[in-house]
Amino acid sequence: MFQPSSIPSPAQPPEPDDAPLHILWRDEHLVAVYKPAGWLVHRTGLDAHETRFVLQTLRDQLGCHVYPAHRLDKGTCGVLVMALHAQAAQRLGQAFAGQEMRKQYLALVRGW
């Protein structure tokens, strides 16, 4: 399990387009990365002008195909888990669907 101190602060300046993603965990089945705010998880027609995508950046960074298990909104920073092969992706999808995983959301807010 990662420690909160290993996650970059949301108050830090945005990452450049070619910055590598911060890998929090990797084994032969899964990889967990920190998704900075402002990045899309994958390409979408809803935001056709965006140039920063976690999926493509991580594929390029690791040199292998990755399978997204869930998403975070563009404006949200946080941890994303991706599978490194089809079997792991299937099992991860089943775990999410069967609520075998516990997710925790923490929010920093200001104002009302």
In whole angstroms, give the CA distance from residue 5 to residue 23: 14
Instruction: Given the residues 17, 18, 60, 73, select the one marked as catalytic.
Output: 73
Query: CB neighbours of 80 closer than 8 A, spacing ≥ 6?
Result: 32, 33, 34, 35, 41, 54, 68, 69, 70, 71, 72
Would residue 73 show up in a list of annotated catalytic residues for this protein? yes
Q: Within 13 A of 13's CA, how many CA atoms are on the CB side?
A: 3
Question: What positions carry a catalytic annotation?
Answer: 73
